[in-house]
């Protein structure tokens, strides 16, 4: 038994479905996605508090999957690059170096909790291909049963067009569907979604998004931040809708608030999942 498992109270409430923020601490299976700008460069120090929050959920008995961007951004300094490369070959080279460093940083931090990480690299085609999808699903299910914490990223070293647009928000939603997660948490640099970019006058925080709400009148800003990420509010909304449509509720908030998010605090933007047939 690991030290994290030993902290699970004997009389803890059974883990199960999540219908609202208050249910989050008893989620059976959680997927958390973090973006490049949150855990690379000057923000690399956020890995440790992120791991603290994941380990706390793990210690409650939840099965946790981390979908982490950041391979290219992490590899850039080691290739002596000042900005994100634009050509595919250099992006692939940066990813090859960065993925190694990134998984090492996560494992070094997880070591404090006697938790072992398992690396899972996927491309969009892996999810689309029935055989690859089945293999990925089986591997992650086995890792979770062995109490290993899977860390998923897009396989940027071999990706082609996928590497040049979009972000891992969609991948996180697809992973949530793949493993039938009870909750998806999408982390970024902003504490919640707003009716317009939060720095603009008149921006109003969106606390709840009922299932099927098309967010009419909401304006999203440009993707990415600090020149290292490729996602933005728009990609998070698209991913949240995808996951919610598959029956998984979604919480969108900032990386520094992840511990509060996993404790069930009233923060971020909550996307209600499609109602289940059994109510």
Pick out the residues of the known binding site: 33, 69, 156, 168, 188-189
Q: Which residues belong to the annotated binding site for substrate?
A: 69, 156, 168
d(CA 5, CA 25): 15
d(CA 139, CA 126): 13
Strand (E) or helix (H) holding 32: strand 29-34
Q: Which residues belong to the annotated binding site for ATP?
A: 33, 188-189
d(CA 43, CA 109): 15
Closest by CA to 18, choosing from 208, 206, 277, 271, is 271
d(CA 85, CA 128): 28
- Residue 45: CB atoms within 10 Å: 9
d(CA 91, CA 86): 7
d(CA 56, CA 125): 33
Give ∠ CA 117-119-120 in degrees, rounded to 5.
135
Give the β-pairing of 250-254 and 269-271.
antiparallel
| Gap between the terminal Cα atoms of the chain | 36
Q: Contact 106/47 with Cβ under 8 angstroms? A: yes
Closest by CA to 39, choosing from 31, 30, 48, is 48
């Amino acid at each position: 038994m690991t030290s994290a498992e030993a902290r699970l109270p004997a009389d803890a409430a059974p883990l199960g479905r999540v219908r609202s923020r208050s249910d989050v601490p008893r989620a059976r299976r959680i997927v958390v996605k973090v973006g490049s700008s949150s855990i690379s460069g000057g923000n690399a120090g956020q890995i440790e508090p992120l791991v603290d929050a994941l380990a706390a959920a793990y210690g409650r008995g939840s099965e946790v999957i981390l979908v982490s961007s950041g391979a290219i951004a992490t590899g850039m300094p080691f290739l002596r690059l000042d900005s994100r490369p634009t050509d595919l070959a250099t992006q692939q080279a940066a990813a090859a170096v960065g993925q190694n460093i990134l998984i090492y940083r996560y494992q070094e931090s997880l070591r404090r909790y006697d938790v072992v990480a398992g690396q899972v690299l996927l491309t969009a085609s892996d999810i689309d291909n029935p055989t690859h999808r089945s293999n990925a699903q089986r591997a992650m299910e086995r890792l979770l049963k062995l109490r290993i914490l899977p860390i998923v990223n897009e396989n940027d070293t071999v990706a082609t067009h996928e590497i040049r647009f979009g972000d891992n928000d969609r991948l996180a939603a697809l992973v949530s569907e793949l493993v039938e997660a009870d909750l998806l948490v999408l982390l970024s640099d902003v504490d919640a979604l707003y009716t317009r970019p939060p720095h603009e006058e008149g921006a109003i925080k969106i606390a709840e998004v009922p299932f099927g709400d098309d967010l009419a009148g909401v304006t999203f800003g440009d993707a990415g931040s600090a020149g290292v990420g490729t996602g933005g509010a728009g990609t998070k909304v698209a991913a949240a809708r995808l996951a919610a449509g598959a029956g998984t509720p979604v919480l969108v908030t900032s990386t520094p608030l992840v511990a509060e998010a996993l404790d069930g605090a009233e923060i971020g933007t909550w996307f209600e999942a499609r109602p289940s047939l059994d109510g």
